[in-house]
Amino acid sequence: MFAFTETKPSGTGKPESVFISWLLWQPRGADLAVEALKEVRKLARYEGGDPDVARLKALFASLAGADGRLH
C-alpha cells in the first residue's frame, strides 16, 4: 500500500491521462460506473490537498454518476 507524504501536486501526469489509461484497461463488459465508484472510494483516502488527486476523483465520480458528494 502506498501512502502520500507530499501535499504538493506530483506533476507526474495529468489526472485526465490517468483516467483515460484506467478506462482503456477495463475488461470488456465491465460495469464502468461500479468500477469508478471503487476508485472514488480509494482516492478518498488521499484527499489532502493535491489538486491532481481531487481532479482524478472528480472524473471517477462523474463516471460513477454521482449527483452529490461521494465519501
pLDDT (tens digit per residue) in 15-55: 999 999 999 999 999 999 999 999 999 999 886 778 999 99
Task: Find the domain containing 48 and state its range.
Answer: 15-64
Residue listed under C-alpha cell 506533476: 11
**35 against 10, higher pLDDT:** 35
User: Is residue 14 within 8 Å of residue 54, measured between CB atoms?
Assistant: no
Q: What is the pTM of this model?
A: 0.73
The answer as to whether 51 is a domain residue is yes
Q: pLDDT band at 60, cuts 50/70/90?
A: very high
The answer as to whether 6 is a domain residue is no
Task: Report how many domains make up the chain.
Answer: 1
* pLDDT reported for residue 48: 73
User: Is residue 69 within 8 Å of residue 47, measured between CB atoms?
Assistant: no
